[in-house]
Amino acid sequence: MSKIIAVKHGTYKNYDYMVLNAHGTHFCAYVRLPESHPFYQLPYEDIDLDCHGGLTFSEMTDFENVRLRVWDPGSGLWWIPGRWEEEKVKKGYWIGWDYAHIGDFCPAFPKRGGREWTADEIVLEAKMVIEELIKKEK
């Protein structure tokens, strides 16, 4: 199984998130829920969150084939050709959504057109979802 490198990842207000480029065709965003959250282990169909296109994923996983790029503070780079570290994704209950809806650009269907999302825009949306998750912790 080939490795997938997370395009962006981090922690925001104690929630882990990551953005993947799914097979080079479109982005997907994921947020790991803490065990104490009321949405923990609910199927995505039962989770009411405002995210792009709605949730399309919820699973207890460590994303076995995904690797996270590790920041090299000495170089100021996420990746140095021939010299970089990688770490596995933390196991947990992850929820996610994708950017392959009508109105989204997908390289697999270039004639369809649509908005080309950047990884930075998707990180901002992941942070908005995290803010909503925090409000629903109570």
Domain boundaries in the chain? 4-135
DSSP code of 53?
Answer: T
* pLDDT tens sequence across 30-52: 999 999 999 999 999 999 999 99
- Does 93 score more than 90 pLDDT? yes
The encoded tokens of residue 134 equal: 């925090």
Q: What is the mean pLDDT of the chain?
A: 83
What residues have CB less than 8 Å from 44, skipping those under 6 apart?
55, 56, 57, 58, 95, 96
pLDDT reported for residue 63: 82
b/e per residue 66-95 (b: at least 16 CB within 10 A)? bbbbeeeeeeeeeeeeeebeeeebeebbbb
56-65, 72-81, 98-107, 124-133: which has the minimum mean pLDDT? 72-81
Pairing of strands 4-5, 66-69: parallel
* More confident: 125 or 67: 125
Tokens of 83: 């010299």
Which pLDDT tens digit goes with each residue over 16-32?
999 988 777 788 999 99
Res 54: pLDDT: 94
Is the pLDDT at 115 greater than 80, yes or no? yes
Q: Are the C-beta atoms of 71 and 5 separated by less than 8 Å?
A: no
Residue 101 has pLDDT above 60, yes or no: yes
pLDDT for residue 126 is more than 50? yes
φ, ψ dihedrals at 128, nearest 5°: -65, -40
